Amino acid sequence: MPSFAPQLTKNWTISPNLRRPYASLIDQVGWLFYENKTKLLAAGWTVKFSSTGIIGPANGADTTDRWTGISTIATRATVAASPQSWIVLQNSDGLQVLFAYQGASDDIARISYSHGGLFTLAGTTTHQPTATDETILIVSTSLVNAATSQDRVMSIWTTSDTKQWSFVLSRADTIQHAIGVERITSYCGPNVLDVPYIGYRHVAFLLYNNLGGLAGTGVTPLTTSYDVLGVYGGANFRGTIARVFTNAASRINRLGGGFIEVAGVADTFNRDYNNVFFNDVYPALQGSKGAPCYLPIFSGERVANLDGIIGSPIDWWIQHTNQAGVPARGNMLPGFDVADNPNIDPVRSNWCVALGNAMVRPWKDAAAAMLFS
């Protein structure tokens, strides 16, 4: 398989360039939640519970979908123990995702997931449900941008096996979030990550180099693929996270996607750190036709009980070039579909899209371009 043309391993449905003209922040949040709910149900997810904020589940067996339109997602609360619009959706592995209209202003909401499918109803069922293993992706942070103008544009990714879900929301030619919950290929030992999922919220997907040495290690980071900002569970936190079970405890692990290289080696080997090894965007060893695409490796925090390698994502690639800005957001890449034979079948155009060179995802020629405004 040509290294510059990845082959998909899953059957993806991409819902590209969904657009919502500005009417109100409440409408924007309702639209974002409703579109994602609708696409997840179409992919095979099921409703576990739901509340409009006015009417909630009658009991734990009530799986009625009360989010019947954008207008039914309009009750915001500032705390968990108050009436609000919320829904819990479940996939085939039993993992559950919570959308809750909860925040200090109309642009803010909460998205989280329960690895073990443990969300339970509050005593008042219009209040936010809780889970002992809840993992928060966004909270106390603007979901749709607080600006009261301009369209929001969103693309949504799902798979037919219900195990991958993500969306990218943009406004004014700026990505506001890339949020998702996805199954990965685990490199962990038994019982650490038996149902291997990660969750993430990011705004940038660039490779960086020459970030300076790690004290006492004798190595220099080659790439920091994914931004990590703020305290997990707090406002404006960004990063990739997983809930793991190590040293007899359930823990939240913030993940990195970087690699390291030995620094200052005087062996006459012709390295080019500044240009990430390559003289050209399209290296000679790729036939000058493209740049390498390969899976990132997620590593755990370098702290007790969380260090090590956790695994690699599925149908999510890094493309390495000699420039940190290539490929750029929205660049289209060739690829192969699940059943293609790369030795026989022609490569497909616009089969992948770059959100930066540290995140290349399936696109399947869903649209001529990925829009951000």
Task: Quick: pLDDT tens for 187-210.
Answer: 999 999 999 999 999 888 876 543
pLDDT at 268: 61
Q: pLDDT tens digits, residue range 78-98?
A: 999 999 999 999 999 999 999
pLDDT at 303: 84
Handedness of CA 256, 258, 261, 264 (dihedral sign): negative
What is this structure's pTM? 0.92
Using only C-alpha atoms, the chain has a radius of gyration, in whole angstroms, of 21
- Give the whole-angstrom CA distance, residue 203 versus residue 325: 15
- Give the whole-angstrom CA distance, residue 6 versus residue 353: 11
Amino acid identity of 296?
A: P
pLDDT at 208: 53
Determine how β-strand 293-294 pairs with β-strand 298-299: unpaired
DSSP-derived 3-state class of residue 137 = strand
Task: Output 85 or 260, whichever has higher pLDDT.
Answer: 85
Q: Extract the tokens encoding 46.
A: 């099921």
Report the helix count and the strand count for the chain, using DSSP H and E.
1, 22
Would you give the end-to-end CA distance of the chain in angstroms?
35
Task: Output 28 or 320, whichever has higher pLDDT.
Answer: 28
Domain ranges of the chain: 12-286
Q: pLDDT tens digits, residue range 294-328?
A: 888 888 887 899 988 899 999 999 887 777 778 89
pLDDT at 225: 46
Residue closest to 356 by CA, chosen among 178, 192, 219, 213: 178
Whether residue 215 is predicted with pLDDT greater than 60 in this model: the reply is: no
Whether residue 373 is predicted with pLDDT greater than 60 in this model: the reply is: yes
Cβ neighbourhood burial of 177 (10 Å; 0-12, 13-18, 19+): buried
Chain centre distance of CA 100: 18
Q: pLDDT tens digits, residue range 167-178?
A: 999 999 999 999
